Amino acid sequence: MDFTWETPDPGYKKINVHCEIMQDPLLNETHVSVGTLARDSGGVQLWGALGLLPNLTEEQAIMSGIQTALIHAQKKGWELIYIETTNLQVYDTIRHQEHVFLNEEQLEIYSSFNTVYANHYNGNKMKRVITSVPPRINSTAAYMANYGLTRKVAFGEISGTVGDMDYFLARDMGMALPVPSVEIQTNLGEGEVIDGPPPPKKRKLDEFFRDEIPRQAYKDKGKSKVMEHFSFYENGLFAKKAIRIMEDGKLSRYSPAFDNQVVNLNAAVGKEIYARDILHHALLGNLKALIPKLYVSNPGFPQDDVDHLMSVDRVLELMGFSTDKASSSKNPV
C-alpha cells in the first residue's frame, strides 16, 4: 500500500531531509540547498531549517541537515528519532559504517553524526532509525530545499512555514487535493509590434548578378536508357551493322574520332554534333544533313562537285566581260 507520507510510531519524531543542487554557468558556481523538518506522530511541524550550504557536496549537505536536526532534538530531549532521506549513499554509509572506508570529506560529517548519538546515549530509551524513501514521500523537504535555492536564502532555522509549505504539510496528511495540472499556453499577443526594428533599406540589384542554372541530369539513368533512342543500340548491345561500319573505316572521312581503335561516342565532332550522332545518322541513311555542321569534313567529298563547275574566265566571258579587262584566278593582277 502506498502513502504520500507515513506518520511515525507514537513517541517518535520523524526528520525528513532533502538536498537540491543547481549549476550557475555564468558565475561558474554550484549552489547547494538543504531543507529539513521534524514532525511528531500527528504530522504537526515541530521544527524546520532551510537554505544554502556553499562549498559542500550533496552528501555533506544532507548530513549537515541531519546533524542540525539531531542537535535540536537533543536540546528538546527527543529520545526516539526516525530519519528519512532520498539519498541512497547517505543511507548505505550510515548503516554500514563498519564496512565502508571513509575519505577525508566523509570522516568529519559521519564522525559528528556518531558522536551526538554516542555521547548522549541514554540506555534503551534512545533510538535512532534511518530509512531511504522515494522522492514523492519527501516532497515537503524537497519544497523547502527548492525554496532556499530559488531565493538564495542562507541556511538557518525557520519559525512556522514559508511559501506554500502549508499545502505540502496538509498533503502529507491527506488533507489536500492533488496539485492541479496547469497547461501553459504560448502568449502570441494580438499581432501588434511594439518598438520593432526599423524596416530594411531598399537595395538595388547588382548589375553583375545573374541566375545560376544548375546542371541538368539525365531523366533516365543507365546506359540502356540513355542510348535506347539511337539506331545503333539494340536491346542493350551494339547493332552488328554499326560495328561493321566502324570496322570498315567508312566514317573516318567525317571525323578523325573514328580512326581510333576505341571510338569515343561522346567526342564532339561538330557544332553540337557528337560521334554518336554520325553513327546514328549513318545507319539511318541521312548523314548528309550533318555534313555542314562538322568541324572536319572530307576534302575529297566536295571536290567531286567542284570539278563540274565553270572556270572564272568562262563565267566572265559569258557575262560579256573581256578577259583582257578583267583578271582571272589563273592570271591575278
Residue 19's domain is classified under what CATH number? 3.30.420.10
pLDDT given for residue 228 in this prediction: 67
With respect to residue 194, please indicate whether it lies within any of the assigned structural domains.
Answer: no
Kindly state whether residues 157 and 273 are assigned to the same domain: no
Kindly state whether residues 24 and 108 are assigned to the same domain: yes
With respect to residue 93, please indicate whether it lies within any of the assigned structural domains.
Answer: yes
pLDDT given for residue 66 in this prediction: 97
With respect to residue 186, please indicate whether it lies within any of the assigned structural domains.
Answer: no
In whole angstroms, give the CA distance from residue 244 to residue 184: 81
Q: Report the first-to-last Cα separation within the chain, whole angstroms.
A: 127
85 close to 133: Cβ distance less than 8 angstroms: yes
43 close to 169: Cβ distance less than 8 angstroms: yes
147 close to 35: Cβ distance less than 8 angstroms: yes
Nearest-10 Cα torsion for 161, 167, 170, 171: -130
pLDDT in tens, the chain (333 residues): 788 999 999 999 999 999 999 988 877 889 999 999 999 999 999 999 999 999 999 999 999 999 999 999 999 999 999 999 999 999 999 999 888 889 988 999 999 999 999 999 988 788 999 999 999 999 999 999 999 999 999 999 999 999 999 999 999 999 998 876 666 666 666 666 677 788 888 877 666 666 665 555 445 455 555 666 777 777 767 778 787 877 877 777 777 777 777 778 777 777 777 878 888 778 777 777 666 656 554 444 444 444 566 777 877 887 877 655 544 444 444
Kindly state whether residues 234 and 165 are assigned to the same domain: no
Run of H or E including 131: strand 127-132
With respect to residue 201, please indicate whether it lies within any of the assigned structural domains.
Answer: no
Kindly state whether residues 162 and 228 are assigned to the same domain: no
pLDDT given for residue 182 in this prediction: 62
In whole angstroms, give the CA distance from residue 54 to residue 32: 6
With respect to residue 272, please indicate whether it lies within any of the assigned structural domains.
Answer: yes
Residue in this structure with the C-alpha cell 532533502, named with its chain if needed: 18
Q: Which domain holds residue 92?
A: 13-172
pLDDT given for residue 326 in this prediction: 45
**Which of left, alpha, beta for 126 (phi over 0: left; psi -120 to 50: alpha)?**
beta
Last residue of a domain, one of 144, 172, 200: 172
Kindly state whether residues 237 and 156 are assigned to the same domain: no
Kindly state whether residues 158 and 48 are assigned to the same domain: yes
With respect to residue 191, please indicate whether it lies within any of the assigned structural domains.
Answer: no
Orientation angle between helical segments 58-76 and 104-118, nearest 10 degrees: 10
With respect to residue 244, please indicate whether it lies within any of the assigned structural domains.
Answer: yes
Kindly state whether residues 159 and 236 are assigned to the same domain: no
Kindly state whether residues 146 and 238 are assigned to the same domain: no
Kindly state whether residues 146 and 19 are assigned to the same domain: yes
Kindly state whether residues 19 and 150 are assigned to the same domain: yes
With respect to residue 247, please indicate whether it lies within any of the assigned structural domains.
Answer: yes
Give the chain's domain count: 2
Kindly state whether residues 168 and 227 are assigned to the same domain: no
In whole angstroms, give the CA distance from residue 164 to residue 174: 16
Work out whether the CA dihedral 24, 167, 7, 43 comes out positive or negative.
Answer: positive
In whole angstroms, give the CA distance from residue 168 to residue 35: 13
Kindly state whether residues 24 and 168 are assigned to the same domain: yes
